[in-house]
Structures are given as C-alpha cells and as structure tokens.
Amino acid sequence: MSDAPPGDRFINRELSWLDFNERVLSLAEAEDMPLLERAKFLAIFASNLDEFYMVRVAGLKRQFAAGLTNRSSDGLTPGQQLEGISAKALSLALRHAQLWLDDVRPALGRAGIEIFRWEKLDDQQRKELNEYFMDSIFPVVTPLAVGPGHPFPYISSRSLNLAVRVRDPGGSLLHFARVKVPPLLPRFVATFEGNVFVPIEDVIAANLSELLPGMDIVEHHAFRVTRNGDLEMNDDGAEDLLQALEKELRRSRFTPAVRLEVESDMPPAVLDLLKRELEVGDEDVHRLPGPLDLTGLWDLHGLDRPELKDTVFQPVTPAAFTSPDGTPTDIFSVLRSDDVLVHHPYDSFTTTVQRFISKAAADPRVLAIKQTLYRTSGESPIVEALIKAAESGKQVVVLVEITARFDELANIAWARTLEQAGCHVVYGLVGLKTHCKLCLVVRQEAMGLRRYIHIGTGNYNPTTARLYEDLGLLTSDPRLGADVSELFNSLTGYSRQRNYRSLVVAPHELRERIVRLIEREGHADGSQPAGRIIFKLNSLADAEVIDALYEASQRSVEIDIIVRGICALRPQVKGLSDNIRVRSIVGRFLEHSRIYYFHNGGSEEFFIGSADIMHRNLDRRIETLLATRSADVNHRLKGILDLALADNSSAWELGSDGHWVRVARAEAEPRVELQRELMERAHRDA
C-alpha cells in the first residue's frame, strides 16, 4: 500500500458531493437541453444544496461547536472542511443565480414565457396582480413587527421572507417587520394572459402598504434561512420509537440556522440584524442576485409546453409479462419458471412491481405479504394494496422506516394508516435504519407453500420510479425466499441470523464480503485471466473498501467505478491507483441502481441491491445485496455496465487531481449515450 498522506489518497466527501451538484448545474448550462429541462435542473441544484446544508454542513457545525478535532479520511478537521465548503458552495450558488438571470430566463422569454420583476410590468399587469394579492395573498399573510413586546419571530427552515423597514409618517425612527411568503401559494404568479410570471415576493412587496397601513415603507429585501434538518434521535431506552421520533420532529423545528441567503442589495444594517438574530456568521451568508429560492422553478416545468421539454418517454412492460396478444400474463406462473429483471424507468414500475404486489393482495391463495417501505408516494397504490390484503384476512407485515430523512411525517402517517387497517407494522430497529427494498409473498399452491420475492435498488414509489434509474429482481428462487424470510424475522423479532445463502446483509457482513471479493480478484495466479472489477453505485466513501481497491489496482486488477455522486477514491495516481478509472453519468434520469461485478477468474459474479459503499450504509443501516444467478439476468446486467462505460455523451471522468472533466467524443466516434440507448432498446424489445 502506498505511503501517500490521506490528502493524496482520499478526496473529501463533502467537496466531492459539491462536485456532483456542479455536474447537475452543468445540465442546466447545456444549450442543447430543452429550456424547461434546464429550468428543472436549476431547481434540482437548488434543492440539492438546501439538503446538503441541512444535513452535511449542519453535522460539521455541530462537531465544530463541540470542539471536536476528528479528521475526515482526507485529513481535514471539521473547521477546515467548513472553510472549503463555504468558498465552493458560494461560488456555485452565484454561478447558479447568474445562469438563471443571464441565460435561462431570457431564453424562456424569447420562447414566450416571460419572468419579470415588478419594475418591468406595465400598469395593466400590476393592476391584475394587485387584485390577485387582495383576493389570494392578503388573507393568508401575517406581518410580524419586531420591537418592544414583539421579539424577533421564529424563521422556519427554507421559508422565503421579506425583511421590511418602516417608519411613522413624518418620523425618523425605523421599525423592522418580517413578512413570510406563504409556502403553499405558487412561487411565480401568472398574469391573466398566462405567459408573464412574477415572483410572489414582488407581488407582496408591491402591496406592503396594505399589510402595514398608515406606515411609510422605507425598504424591503428578500431573505431565506436554512436550518439544521438532521434529526438526532436519542432512542436509548425509548419504549416507543414512533413517539420518540414525533417528539424529535417537534423539537427540530427550532434547530440552529446553518445558512442565510439574502438578495445582493440588502444594506448592512438589515443584514447585521438578521445575522445577529439568527446567530449566523459571515461565512454562512450567501449574498445573491434575486430572486432567491429557485427550487420554485419546478412550477414552471409544469407548464404545458411540450416543445420545451424532453420527449415524453413511456415505460414498457417486459415481454415476460405480456402475452403475444398483448394481454398480461399470470405473474406467478412466469416467476415459477424464470427470474425477471426489471430496469426502471425503462421497464414500467406499474405493470411489474406494483402489479406483483396488487396481484398478491387480491389472490385468495396468497397467505402473507411482508414488505419494507422506506419512501413511497403521496397516493400510494402499494399501501392501498397492502391495506386490501389485510382487510381480506391475509397476514400483512410492513416495516415502515419512519426515520427516512425528510419523509418522517409522511411515513408516520402511512404507519398509522396501515395499523388501523390491520397490518402488523414494525418501525425498524433502534440505532439502525432499514434501507433494504424487499417484498415477500407467501402463496399456497398444489405442491405446498411457495415464496415469491421482489428485491430492488429503489423505493416502492411509482412516482420516483419514472425519474430514478433502478433495478429489481422478481423471482421464486427458494434459496432467496428462505433468506428473505429469515431477514424479516430478524427485523420483526429477536432472530440473530447472520449468514445467508444468496443475500449479503449490512451491518453484519457486507463490508467484509466486498473486501474479500476485491482481494480475491487481486490474488489470481498466472493461470487465470486478469482480475476485473466494475462497481456502479451512488457513492463510494468507505476507507476500508477504497484501500482494498487501491491494493487490487497495485496487483494489476482492472477496476472501473461508475459513481453518480460522492467519490472519495482518487484514481490514476501513480503507484497507488494506476488501474482504477472513475466516471459519472448525470442525465435525464437519476442514476440510482447499484451493481457490483467481479470477474472471478471467468466465473463472473454480479450483486445488486440497496447498499452504497458508505460508512452509514455499511455500519448504520440494514442493507442487502443479492447475488444474481440467472445467466440471462447477468447478461443484461453486464450489458448495462458495458454501455455505461462506453458512454461518450453524458459521462464525466475523475482525474488524479480530484477534478471532473466531461468525456470528449472523438469526431469520427459514434455517439453513445447510456440513457438514450436504453430508452430505444426498451421500445425495440418490448
């Protein structure tokens, strides 16, 4: 192993995540991208950055405030990481804001979608919006004064606000008031013509005299606060995990501010007041050209302008689930003879996974359904099917991970709904987040009980299944069925099962198994083909696994990493990682599946599942990887990996210096784009 210092061996995970969000921003910068898709990626960038501050920056701030000096894998203290994040995040935020102002917004205007600030409106448009204010905004807005008897109000996380200074007519003393922009109203208000939009805070600002009558409005400035959103569950001895989480959610509303966004024209006096009351330092302030909160650009993406969006892609039903005459096949009959790999969004989630669960719920021969739920949709057909199954007398066990970040309240509601319907609901294990994606169906058949299984890389959510790229296996393999049954017993009871036949489970053995498989590739003798490893995953940050990959590289193993987000591994470093290449694909769909490939001397092994190579996944979560055995399934998995490695249109490559560079296609080289090719294949093969 190389003696290189940590900073040369590892890339900081937080800065690597910011690199990922920069790749998202690059999609908004792409001039060949449809205009409303560019606006969408601006919204995604903004939402991503919000969550990064709420979780990662908040965690580092807690460490720094506690005086901790523990270092990251690349050797940085919490304070040093915060310094690097502050500079890089502000630079990206400014680039994001200017891209909107100087490029995307004017281009939308040329396409007939005008987004104006108040001063650009004509008299008729102002009149219309003033009427809208009185009818739809005034009744729900409450200005809050600050002064004697009126303490500075609580500013909720991610809320958009106006800082207003007023004075009595003829007076000189300035007073401060805060006006919160109603979060449930449209971010951009349309004029009656329907093609001119105005930020809602401009409409409110133009009517402040209606909210503060009799006062002179001196100035107003928009600001936005981001607070710590990472729950600190203290569940030691908690008798009821649900109650403990609800208590923490109530407490978390008042967590510290970690970022303050203000419009660039905010004067020092107002900014100093906000910094003092919110207890943020200069390093936490993002001074940006308005409008703030471009997550609201999702609203514009919803406009009925198909010529400004990607061509609609219609997922297909795999041939295995469709008869020659186009009617659906019996899903259980298919799975008795074949394993079926489903690849979303190319394969329809509705006609595969959702149909599997709905069919099981309605089938009188199904005796039991056991399911994990991490995130699901608002109107969830999966939950509805489970409720119907319970109401028909089936035993239904649902493990609802109520601590799934930012979905805690929704999952608490689903858990209670399922309980009221008669389902057995389990909330997960104390100290471990259940992240695996499993559904087990037990069916009475002529030859006895048979188990049918779905195991996937993504959530049971039909909405995100159209946006996220994920894999799932539907099978009746008895070995896997036995594994999944035993795992559910561990999750719902007191089983201490550790060893499985087809599954690899975290936190008990997943890291150790991955490391052993990596080491095996590096120990092939001269009579065997050279070692080969390919990982496709979301994040790679675990130091022990990365060190094993470095050692394998030094043993001449060829290694390719296809990572969407964080990568702490430093590739192509002489003497350390010469044989490791890292690439990232960011595109129309969020690359979310995990595939782990090992050449194994020609007896190729593939694993799919829920786990990334992160400390949290390997140590603090229940995760599963499945060793796939079907030759057809493995052939298809290898095809996905090969296509991702051949992509020369949407791929980025990571250099030894830690910088990402867009893959350049040679002039005579045919264009290869992973997601486009998979969409075309899906329709061709359906």
User: What is the spatial distance between Cα 668 and Cα 644, in angstroms, rounded to a whole number?
Assistant: 20
Q: Computed from CA positions of residues 47, 50, 54, 57, in that sequence, does the dihedral angle turn out positive or negative?
A: positive
Reference 563, options 585, 544, 548, 579; nearest CA is: 585
**Mean pLDDT score across all residues of the chain:** 92
Quick one: CA torsion of 232, 233, 234, 239, rounded to 10 degrees? 170
- When mean pLDDT is compared across 29-38, 104-113, 324-333, 635-644, the lowest value belongs to 324-333
- When mean pLDDT is compared across 211-215, 222-226, 243-247, the lowest value belongs to 243-247
What does the pLDDT read at residue 376? 84
- Span 14-21, average pLDDT: 97
CA 405 to chain centre: 10
Reference 458, options 488, 477, 436; nearest CA is: 436
User: What is the spatial distance between Cα 601 and Cα 268, in angstroms, rounded to a whole number?
Assistant: 67
pLDDT above 50 for 236:
no
pLDDT tens column, 40-57? 999 999 999 999 999 999
* pLDDT-based confidence at residue 428 (cuts at 50, 70, 90): confident
Neighbour count for residue 285 (Cβ, 10 Å): 20
Q: Is-contact 12 76, C-beta < 8 A?
A: yes
- Span 487-494, average pLDDT: 86
Angle (nearest 5°) at CA 456 between 455 and 457: 150
What does the pLDDT read at residue 194? 77
Contacts of 547 by beta carbon, 8 Å cutoff, 6+ apart: 1
User: What is the spatial distance between Cα 76 and Cα 658, in angstroms, rounded to a whole number?
Assistant: 16
User: What is the spatial distance between Cα 100 and Cα 320, in angstroms, rounded to a whole number?
Assistant: 46
What does the pLDDT read at residue 235? 47
pLDDT tens column, 521-579? 998 665 666 799 999 999 999 999 999 999 999 999 999 999 999 999 999 999 999 99
Q: What phi and psi values does residue 576 have, to the nearest 5 degrees?
A: -120, -50
* pLDDT-based confidence at residue 78 (cuts at 50, 70, 90): very high
**Distance set, CA 456 to CA 64, 359, 633, 666 (Å):** 38, 18, 14, 36
Element holding 355 (H helix, E strand)? helix 355-362
Of the chain, the percentage scoring pLDDT greater than 70 comes to 93
Q: What phi and psi values does residue 367 have, to the nearest 5 degrees?
A: -95, -30
Single-letter amino acid code for the residue at 336: R
What does the pLDDT read at residue 412? 80
What does the pLDDT read at residue 526? 59
Q: Is 17 exposed, middle or buried (0-12, 13-18, 19+ CB in 10 A)?
A: buried
pLDDT tens column, 495-523? 677 789 999 999 989 999 999 999 999 98
- Span 370-389, average pLDDT: 90
Does residue 86 or residue 376 have the better pLDDT?
Answer: 86
Quick one: CA torsion of 603, 609, 615, 618, rounded to 10 degrees? -80
pLDDT above 60 for 110:
yes
pLDDT tens column, 254-313? 689 999 999 999 999 999 999 999 999 999 999 999 899 999 999 999 999 999 999 999
pLDDT tens column, 429-457? 778 889 999 999 999 999 999 999 999 99
Neighbour count for residue 121 (Cβ, 10 Å): 20
What does the pLDDT read at residue 246? 61
What does the pLDDT read at residue 239? 44
Known catalytic membership, residue 286: no
Contacts of 149 by beta carbon, 8 Å cutoff, 6+ apart: none
User: What is the spatial distance between Cα 609 and Cα 504, in angstroms, rounded to a whole number?
Assistant: 9
Q: Is-contact 153 132, C-beta < 8 A?
A: no
pLDDT tens column, 647-685? 999 999 999 999 999 999 988 899 999 999 999 999 888
* pLDDT-based confidence at residue 229 (cuts at 50, 70, 90): confident
DSSP 154-194: P--TT-EEEEEEEE-TT----EEEEEEPPTTS-SEEEPTTS
- Span 621-648, average pLDDT: 97
Block residue for tokens 């595939």: 595
pLDDT above 90 for 10:
yes
User: What is the spatial distance between Cα 333 and Cα 312, in angstroms, rounded to a whole number?
Assistant: 32
- What's the pTM? 0.93
pLDDT above 70 for 231:
no
- Span 123-143, average pLDDT: 95
Which listed residue (220, 435, 454, 592) is catalytic?
A: 435
Q: Is-contact 195 232, C-beta < 8 A?
A: no
